[in-house]
Amino acid sequence: MTENFDADEIRAIRAKLLGFQSRCKQISNEIGERKSLTIDEKERLQELYTSLKADLKAESAALRKCWDDLSRAEECFYEPAIRKAAIALRPATNSNPITSGWFSALYDCEGEFSYVLFNLEKLDI
């Protein structure tokens, strides 16, 4: 059985997920294959990572609070992506971006968004 989803809602979900995915990529690209960071670079990355992690956790908590009011599209696509992405960002925000597994965590987080975005593309909306 194929479900019909509201095209505008799917576009809005896609835009939100692309925004989070872009933030993951930005941090990952800045870490890259670097062996060291200046103090300023480390602080900047920690700010970006802290902001991303906090936003995902806040969004996940907000979605849990209003679970009964979520649309079917939010239940199927948005909530699982946000929840799993938030879980993927395990490394502490005050840890070293290079040696604490940030790159791997960001890769996993980005993968959650990529998976859902791929499925949204298959809806052909």
Domain assignments of the chain as residue spans, ordered by start:
7-30+38-122
Query: Mean per-residue pLDDT for 60-78?
Result: 96
pLDDT score for 124: 78
| pTM (2 d.p.) | 0.93
Q: Which two tokens stand for residue 102?
A: 């940030």
CA–CA gap between residue 21 and residue 3 (Å, rounded)? 26
Query: Mean per-residue pLDDT for 53-57?
Result: 98
Q: Check pLDDT > 70 for residue 74.
A: yes
Q: List, for residues 89-98, the tens digit of each pLDDT value.
A: 999 999 999 9
pLDDT score for 1: 46
Query: Mean per-residue pLDDT for 87-111?
Result: 97
Query: What ranges in the chain are assigned the alpha helix state H?
Result: 7-31, 39-65, 72-73, 79-88, 102-122
26 contacts: CB under 8 Å, gap ≥ 6: 48
CA–CA gap between residue 97 and residue 17 (Å, rounded)? 23
